[in-house]
Structure 1
Amino acid sequence: MNKFPPYFSCSIAVIAIIFLLLNPSDTLAQSRGTVAGKVVTSKGEVADNVSIGLIGTSYGSTTNNAGEFSFKAHAGSYTLIISYVGLQRVELPVSVTAGQTTAVPQITINASLLQLSEVNVIASRANRFTRKISVDVCKIPLNNLENAQSYTTITNELFKEQNIFTVDESLRNSPGIQKLWDATGRAGDGGGYFTLRGFVTQTSVRNGIAGLVTSGIDAINIDKIEVIKGPSGTLYGSTLSSFGGLINRVTKKPYDTFGAEIGHTVGNYDLNRTTLDLNTPLGTNVSFRLNTAYSYEGSFQNYGKSRTFAAAPSLAIKANDKLSFLLEAEMFYGRNSAKPFFFFYSSPKEMGITNVNQLNIDYKQAYSNDNIASYSRSLNYFGQANYKISDKLTSQTVFSSSNSFSNGASPYYYLVTDALAGTIDPTKPDLPGNNNYIFRNDQSTANSRLTATEIQENINGDFDFGGMRHRFVVGLDFQRENSRQIYFGNSYGIVPINDPTFDYGAFNKQLVDATNAANPLTSANTYPYIYKKNTYSAYASDVINLTDRLIASLGVRVDRYENKGAYSLDGVQTSKPFSQTAFSPKFGLVYQPIKDALSLFANYQNGFQNPNPFQDANNQAVQPKIQNANQIEGGVKLGLFNDKLNGTVSYYRINVTNIIRPIPGSAIGSVQDGTQNSKGFEAEIVANPVAAINIVAGFACNDSKFTKADADVQGLRPNTAGSPYSGNLYISYRLPQNTIKGLGVGLGGNYVSRNKIINSVSQGTFELPSYTLLNSSVFLDRAKLRFTLSGNNLTNKHYYTGYTTINPQKLHQFILSANYKF
């Protein structure tokens, strides 16, 4: 795949033409005027990202980071409205004159900045699946059109409409990211595994800082997800970000008035889920919020069950007009049966297979009893202090403590040839054909722990200097990892891969416990990850308005990494301490041919990683060099037709250096001179072509390959890169307000092309097949009640995820949710 199909280059033009056809009146600028103004809180703070609309129309906008808004509307008399949950709405009469600007007097709302994420506009919002401003992507409050980096925002409104309950599920709405593994529940594993721009990434960032997890993340406390694309080492360092990017979950915040929402969900596979979102003031300047959820679910297979509990309390304190505090906790508990993972013990070449359809896996067979379970726990604590130094300068001090724990068994299965099966267990009969058996194994964790601490200080400023506006951040960051992860495993014999008379449920907790009791843990039979790592960083970034349409950004990070060494279970040092210093620059440029509506952007971004020591050809330990990833990217961002058409189209190229690879002809040695290239095209559209319809669509194409590597994989696509092509689509239609208010329907799905999970000369090539999933929802959303009926995988598609593995995925599921708001 050396070039993209030619129709990609004209995709944005086609979309724009469709909008012109759907909105012919919007092209007649001579009949429209402009409405402009500013919104502040009751305490004089600028109110950014507030939605404003004209009642009974689709005209509207959101305020920028100065609290200002501006949008066009047809000439006439209207009522302008702003409304927050639990607060009296603000209504003002406005008259729009063609070709003129109507200046609305400054609007004061009875709300604080902490409530701005709770916006609920009564008027039809131009595009309810967008958020124009992010404070985390650049650690500077920036409108997306001013930001030279690509990112996707997935909003809480979309979660509700699609009946989504986990962060992993929500990511199906972002182009270019693909699930590889479900969360294992093991401490240190960090939840689900995804590939982004050809590199593995996980959900380890919360509100811009570390927030580690072990299992799938309940979305009960999520306001939005930000998929930040490309190497992001300058602002996020090496421990939280991969070369493909990172996933940042932005949480709900307390607000000043009482509000509550309870919900219950049922579905097939015995799904039962109960949720609570409670907010209450505790005095004049203190607000408390609790989001909590309990979920139980069985499996589409004959064994398997999952119990999870999530609780996220938060407390907002306003000490005075300059100083405020935010205290939060995030507690996830889970007891889950393992989902089947099939690994290759014999290579696909030895087995004579190239795709999953040639295997005889029983899709609905779990191959173990569901009483084999693992317990996982993630306890994350956060503290934030914001201080207003002046009108132009603010300080943010953040503390994060993440603690993950796991204990229990995690069965998995090796695919083997019949010849190897007979070698392992000579009692097995020689059946017709080949590949008739699997080798059952387990990798357990024994009271494994991983803790991470982060302390961060950010100074943000917004100044005019030299005739140019400067928005900057200067930050200091300290991160510490303390790991005592203990892995151990046992084998449980050869069994047939598909025999309806075989008792697979006999692989159960009693058997695992007895086997573990007979094999006490020692340094010889465990795989410990016992280490401590410290990282000290300083960074700075400046966004400069060279003109009102030309914006430049530049940043740099200095990162001091200290690896304190690794140890065995009995305390023997297995690798020596070492330190490294990294520099990470970034540059960006944005030009707006149509101000606040169309941006052309380009960036250079850097990411880096600190590999572990390796052995050379003489079996001597080598201190590794820093791995670097350098990206160049360019594209277009849209905010057209009064924000009815939002989107990003981009092309990127990432080059990675200093990859550790085997030395040709050496049995044990490695050398650090490998390189990898990943390039691709991404397009995302979030649109509101007419008042009743909202569209979320995306397409991604990625071409990754090893450019300098062992001959076994030279020039081939890495098995971590996922599928070359993927797409997502969701179309939502709400009936007109005067028909059945709040009733709507949504339809969408995902396409993923074939995925080479094994790809080398020696092992052969093995592909997971392409798949298309179809999902739908029907909802009724009223002021106090919301009902949602959703169907996922409507065609009951058998499909798989994985990298180096084969993981069967859930069959069709129907879910009914009911929520009541106080």
Structure 2
Amino acid sequence: MKHCILLLAMLLPFFGFSQSETGAVKGTITTPNGESAEKITVQFKGAGKSVALNASGTFEITAVKPGAYKLVVTSVNTETVELPVTVAAGVTTEVPAIQLKESRQQLQTVEVTGRKDNSYKNDRSFSATKIEMAVKDVPQSVSTVTKELMQDQQAFRASDVIKNVSGVNQFSGYDDFTLRGFRSSTQLLNGLRTVVGFWNQPLLVNIERLEVIKGPAAALFGKTDPGGTINRVTKKPLDVDRKVFAFTVGSFQTYRSTVDLTGPLNEEKTLLYRLNIGYENSETFKTNQGTENFIVSPSLSFAPNDKTRVNLDLVYGLTNGKLYRGQPIFGATAGTDLHSTPISFTIGRANDYIKEKTFSANVSLSHQFSSNFSFNFSYLKYQWNENLMEHRTGNGYAMDSSGAQQPTLMEMMTIKRLSKNINDNVTAYFVHRFQTGAFQHQLLVGYDFNQYSVPVGGSQETARGYRLKNGSVANTYNKARKNDYILDANGNPVPNVPHFSLVNPDYSIANTSGYITTSVATAPARNESSGIYIQDNIKFGKLALLLGLRKEFYSDKFNFNKPQEENIKQESLIPRLGLVYNLTKQINLYGLFVQGFMPQNTATMANPNAGGPFDPLVSRMYEAGAKGDFLHGRLSATLALYHLEQNNVLVSANSASNPDLLEQRGQERGRGVEVDVNGRITDNLFLSANYTYSKTIISKAADKTLEGRLKENAPLQQGGAWLKYNINSGELKGIGIAAGGNFVTKRRTFSDILELPAYAVMDAAVYYKFDKVQLSVNLNNVLNKTYWSGGYDYNRLFPGAPRNFLATIYYTL
């Protein structure tokens, strides 16, 4: 009892409970240029309270202890206002009317300072055109998941939130996605290319928002995947003090903690900082698959005057876990039963591990020579290191003495690997605003350079296959040479690495000393891409025309640093043409034509028997749609219709005399319609919703029987919604509830007879906010549905998590 009383005495000051009489503060705020009221945030420093301005431009903060405070008014596009206020017990203090002014940082040509909006709606984008532009004015579909939606859904990785974006679904369990039916692993960080580690998705702790640029983005970024590109935008410093601490517990022994600190470092607010730290320790629902993650991300913004702004972002991340190769099921000879093994089933041993380390440094500079002429520069170094040991499937089932597959035994192999990848990015461009008669121009001219390197020092050790009597190993079993193999008591070939039983799995520590291994140094590699581009956004009356042209150069040094080194070069001229028509004050219509570029595989280009050289992969997209802001700017909606095709796909020439011979006649095509809605319906009702109908097929192929077939992991339909309601008055004030769900229709895999079934998953959440504390509890997959978010074949399927919960406490200073 004594300990309980002591604990209660310690907690009462922390949660800010008080029996003393309180006061209130109210006021009126007017905004410039029709700035929407809900974008204004009113904070009461010292009391730990904040409210959003209501539609009439008034606010009221209640239950404030008597004392002296500072009222801070902030928004996305206005200067911060700070006003001293004294609160008396039992009195409602009315502050003088506040007139906000436009911020000098309203039009950042490089995103340096953080955004203060707190909605599911994102108004502006930098990556879609490389300059700040209202999303409604961009003639291309750009979908965004904001940090507020990530927090409300307690998302920690991109796979947790892509359900909120039309046309995007998980391809596998790794860092790859299907965008408009095309597989994509091209990702950007603040608009610059990163090295994709692929196996594990980076945490979202330091991410302000995820932007998805739909369709080819090569006109600005060079070689990119046709379906779209995901851009991770890091959190930037704010000019107001804010400190948020969070701790999470959840299913599968999940523990998480995060810290988000930001504010000015000097009185002039020319030097701002932000520090994000995150830690996760979880066992997950998969057997033998615990993971530990850590990330620290400091950021500095320096604006010594109105003309110059500099930003530095650093990110250091560590991952310690096991590489998940997916759920295997019984082989095809036993049918196509997805439930032949539980979704928790994995392949591996207790002493497997994957240790990843990432580091990135991003420096950006913006200098305004005049009100109409600016220069922008950004550099990103991104490094990924891997230390891997795994027992994994050899992508096949064990062989018996007759050469037949045993559908419940997996062939196994081990891989030990040390690897390092380094990416260096530089982009520099000038922006000039000028007018010729009735035409307003925003001209951008730039150059960027990207270098991807695999340095000396990487190596891989592999064990696989079946033992031979001469002490060596054969990768496969050949029954015609049965007498050359070591056979077990049943006459079956003895594997180099023991088979893994799907009926009686063994997750013990494996003694790898007896494996016969081969070790190969990873060949150093380097490829470079660069581009010169020009873009002009021309406005005249209700019309805006976006003209872009890029000359892309790509070179890959095959056999790098070897006597037989070859420099394989490819290049492309990439146009972009967009048109926006301002139908009404709220609605824009748009149309787009854009091409994409992706170089062909270097090994294929260098193979003298392949019949090359070949033209690079070229994609093209036609898109039309409408974008609108409704309910006084609180809610945004996008409707997009598109036709997308990728040409120059390499296929086999089916030559009997030369099996390596290829020809360039393949084509893949996608057509679809997408709808995205994000924002607020009222001051306390938030909505994010999306729907997609998309048909992505193989339209041309050497094998004519493939034509018309849907591409792998490309569903015909998908969609979802998330609705959150906050109670802002009455006895239940501070409580919020949310519910939502998403669905995906059936999908093909790489196996002709294995199909992933359709699924629908429901989620829910409840929140309670009081004083400086918020409690959030999320229940995911409420109905405990069994489903698969992606997959390759019988031996590599990726199930979604069963019913699970996350509970988080946030403490804000």
TMscore range, shorter length: 0.7 to 0.9
1:488 to partner: Cα distance: 4.8
Q: Which amino acid aligns with 2:409?
A: Y
2:306 aligned with 1:321: yes
- Structure 1 pair 473/784, CA: closer, same or farther in 2 (3 Å)? farther
**Alpha-carbon contact 1:51-1:60 (below 8 Å) kept:** no
1:279 aligns with 2:253: no
Please, which of 694, 699, 702 is the counterpart of residue 710 of structure 1?
A: 702
Contact 1:589 1:602 in 2 (8 A): yes
Residue aligning to 2:520: 522
Alignment partner, residue 720 of structure 2? 728
User: Hey, what's the Cα distance between the residues in 2 that align with 1:280 and 1:299?
Assistant: 35
CA deviation map 1:30-68 (0-9, x unaligned): xxxx987249xxxxxxx999924899975289xxxxxxx
State the alpha-carbon separation in 2 of the partners of residues 671 and 808 from structure 1.
Answer: 37
Paired with 1:413 and 1:49, the residues of 2 have a C-alpha distance of: 57
Which residue pairs with 1:558 in the alignment?
551
Kindly indicate whether the alpha-carbon contact (under 8 Å) linking 1:753 and 1:770 is maintained by their aligned counterparts in 2: yes
The residue type equivalent to 1:703 in the other structure is K
> Residue 396 and residue 369 in structure 1: after superposition, are their counterparts in 2 closer, same or farther (change >3 A)?
same
1:773 and 2:761 equivalent? yes
Distance 1:257 1:461, change over 3 A: same
Letter in 2 for 1:375: K
8 Å Cα contact 1:229/1:245 also seen in 2: yes
CA contact 1:270–1:298 (8 Å) conserved in 2: yes
For structure 1, the 5+ residue unaligned runs are: 1-33, 40-46, 62-79, 92-102, 122-127, 184-191
1:489-545 alpha-carbon deviations (Å, 9 max, x no partner)? 33365646542xx35113x3x434x257x525136xxxx463211112111111111
Give 2:785's match in structure 1, choosing from 786, 797, 800: 797
| Count of residues in correspondence between the two structures | 705
Change (3 A) 1:172 1:575: farther
State how far apart, in whole Å, the 1-side matches of 2:678 and 2:667 are: 36
Structure 2: distance between partners of 1:645 and 1:388: 33
Q: Which of 158, 161, 164 pairs up with 1:167?
A: 158
Aligned-residue offset at 1:643 = 2.4
Residue aligned with 1:798, SS: coil
One-letter amino acid of the counterpart of residue 37, structure 1: P
Rate the CA distance shift 1:256–1:144 in 2: closer, same or farther, 3 A.
Answer: closer
The change in CA–CA distance for 1:677 and 1:758 in structure 2 (over 3 A counts) is same
Deviations 1:184-231 (A, max 9, x none): xxxxxxxx1101012111362011112334221111111111011001
Q: Is the 8 A contact 1:704 1:721 kept in 2?
A: no
CA contact (8 A) 2:38 2:683 kept: no
Report the Cα distance in structure 2 between the residues aligned to 1:49 and 1:544, rounded to whole angstroms.
Answer: 30
Whether 1:619 and 2:631 are equivalent positions in the alignment is no
Distance in 2, Cα, partners of 1:744 & 1:245: 34
Matched, 1:436 2:424: no
Question: CA 1:479/1:496 → structure 2, altered by over 3 Å: closer, same or farther?
Answer: closer
Give 1:480's aligned amino acid.
Q
- Give, in whole Å, the separation in 1 of the partners of 2:351 and 2:75: 47
DSSP-derived class of the 1:802 partner: strand
**222-231 or 704-713, which moves further after superposition?**
704-713
Three-state SS of the structure 2 residue aligned to 1:522 is strand
Q: Deviations over 1:62-119 (max 9, x none)?
A: xxxxxxxxxxxxxxxxxx994369965579xxxxxxxxxxx99662679997896352
Structure 2 CA distance for partners of 1:281 and 1:48, relative to 1, 3 Å: farther
Matches within 5 A, 1:459-474: 459-474=430-445
String of CA shifts for 1:727-756, please: whole Å, max 9, x gaps: 111111111334433321111111111110
How has the CA–CA distance of structure 1 residues 468 and 406 changed in structure 2, closer, same or farther, with 3 Å as cutoff? same
Deviation of 1:627 (Å): 1.2
The alignment-based identity, stated in percent, is: 20
Aligned residues of 1:133 and 1:141 also touching (Cα < 8 A)? yes
Question: Retained in 1: the 8 A contact 2:276–2:297?
Answer: yes
671-680 or 263-272: which moved more? 671-680
Indicate how the Cα distance of structure 1 residues 82 and 109 shifts in structure 2: closer, same or farther if over 3 A, else same: farther
- The answer to whether residue 480 in structure 2 is matched with residue 489 in structure 1 is no
Residues of 2 paired with 1:687 and 1:157: CA distance?
A: 11
- Taking a change above 3 Å as real, the CA distance of residues 621 and 488 of structure 1, as seen in their structure-2 partners, is farther
Which structure would you say has the larger Rg?
A: 2
Displacement of 1:809: 2.9
1:37 lines up with 2:22 in the alignment:
no
Quote the Cα distance in structure 1 between the aligned partners of 2:317 and 2:217: 27
Match of 1:310 among 295, 299, 315: 295
Q: Select 1:531's aligned residue among 522, 525, 535.
A: 525
Deviation at 1:674, TM superposition (A): 1.6
Asked if residue 684 in structure 1 is aligned to residue 667 in structure 2, the reply is no
Q: 2:506 is matched with which residue?
A: 504
Report SS of the residue matched to 1:577: strand
The residue that corresponds to 1:341 in the other structure is: 326
Partners of 2:577 and 2:100 in 1: CA distance: 37
- Is residue 59 of structure 1 aligned with residue 55 of structure 2? yes
Q: Is the 8 A contact 2:611 2:663 kept in 1?
A: no
Change (3 A) 1:84 1:554: closer
Q: Which amino acid aligns with 1:390?
A: S
TM-score by length of 1: 0.79
- C-alpha distance in structure 1 between counterparts of 2:506 and 2:52, whole Å: 61
1:747 aligns with: 739
**CA distance change for structure 1 residues 376 and 717 in 2, over 3 Å: closer, same or farther?**
farther
Gaps of 5+ in 2: 1-28, 43-50, 58-70, 85-96, 465-495
Deviation digits for residues 351-409 of structure 1 (CA, Å, limit 9, x no counterpart): 374x453x622322323234311111111111111111101121111111011110112
TM-score normalised by length of structure 2:
0.80
Partner of 1:177: 168
RMSD: 3.4
Deviation at residue 325 of structure 1 after TM alignment: 1.3
Q: Secondary structure in 1 aligned to 2:733?
A: coil
2:638 to 631, 634, 648: 648
Shift of the alpha carbon at 1:328?
Answer: 1.2
Letter in 1 for 2:511: L
Instruction: Verify the 8 A CA contact 2:275 2:296 in the aligned structure 1.
Output: yes
Instruction: Show the 5 A alignment for 1:443-462.
Output: 443-444=415-416, 446-462=417-433
Residues 815 and 342 (structure 1 numbering): CA distance in 2 closer, same or farther, change over 3 Å? closer
Given the superposition, is the C-alpha separation of residues 803 and 702 from structure 1 closer, same or farther in structure 2, using an over 3 Å criterion? farther
CA distance in 2, matches of 1:700, 1:352: 35
**Conserved in 2, the CA contact under 8 Å of 1:749 and 1:773?**
yes
Of residues 741-750 and 281-290 in structure 1, the stretch that sits farther from structure 2 once superposed is 281-290
Q: SS of the residue aligned with 1:652?
A: strand
Over 3 Å counting, the alpha-carbon distance change for 1:755 and 1:422 in structure 2 is: farther
Determine if the alignment matches structure 1 residue 207 to structure 2 residue 190: yes
**1:404-434 deviations in Å (ceiling 9; x for gaps):** 110112443356567x35557x9xxx9xxx7
Aligned pairs for 1:661-680 within 5 A: 661-666=651-656, 667-680=659-672
Shift of 1:295: 0.8
The residue aligned with 2:493 is none
CA distance in 2, matches of 1:539, 1:106: 38
Aligned to 2:360: 380
Residue 3 of structure 2: aligned partner: none
State the distance in 1 between where 2:362 and 2:666 align: 39
> Counterpart of 1:119?
116
Q: Is the 8 A contact 2:463 2:497 kept in 1?
A: no
1:172 aligned counterpart, secondary structure: helix
Measured in 2, the distance between the counterparts of 1:668 and 1:141 equals 48
**Bigger shift: 434-443 or 220-229?**
434-443
- Asked whether the equivalents of residues 204 and 248 of structure 1 are also in contact (C-alpha less than 8 Å), the reply is yes
Matched with 2:386 is: 406
Give 3-state SS (helix, strand or coil) of 1:642's partner: coil
Q: Residue 451 of structure 2 aligns to which amino acid in structure 1? A: R
Match of 1:189 in 2: none
